[in-house]
Amino acid sequence: MREATLASAPPPAPLLIARTLVVAVVLYFIAQKLNDRRRRARAVATPSRAPVDRATTYSREDVAEHAARDDLWVIIDGKVYDLTEYVDEHPGGADAIARNAGGDATTGFNGPQHPSRVFDIVDDYLIGALK
């Protein structure tokens, strides 16, 4: 009987303190990880290149000249985007963007895999319209 009473007794104070510290440290690192992701997402969403005249028009041939990962343009809904700075940050992988490099990516872009925020992000890379 006495053993059952001891087993149900609360753990000693030092053990409670240790558990609380472990939980606090784990929560701290989770928060840091989330903050790092948010910071990285903001950096991706704000390209560092100089402002461009978005009224500029490009032909399909102009866009086709930019079909490499280090110089990657695509057409989405009749607009031209320079995704060179974003290609390596794409959550679906660089190949997902690179397969449409220099061409029309409208169908792939408007697929169900993209969250609504992607429409705001891509506007930061708009460089003109299709002729």
Look at residue 89 in the predicted model and tell me its pLDDT: 87
C-alpha of 13 from chain center: 44
Number of Cβ atoms within 10 Å of the Cβ of 122: 20
Superfamily of domain 57-130: Cytochrome b5-like heme/steroid binding domain (3.10.120.10)
Query: What is the rounded distance in angstroms from the CA atom of residue 36 to the CA atom of residue 33?
Result: 5
Strand spans (E) along 38-131: 57-58, 67-68, 71-76, 79-82, 126-130
Query: What is the rounded distance in angstroms from the CA atom of residue 69 to the CA atom of residue 18?
Result: 50
Helical residues (DSSP H) of 1-131, grouped into ranges: 2-7, 13-45, 60-64, 94-98, 106-109, 118-123
Helical residues (DSSP H) of 69-117, grouped into ranges: 94-98, 106-109
Residues of the chain with pLDDT > 90, as a percent, come to 39
Report residue 45's pLDDT band, with 50, 70 and 90 as the boundaries: very low
Tokens linked to 102 = 């220099």
* pLDDT tens-digit readout, 6-25: 567 777 888 888 888 888 88
* pLDDT tens-digit readout, 62-101: 999 999 999 999 999 999 999 999 998 888 889 999 999 9
Tell whether pTM > 0.85: no
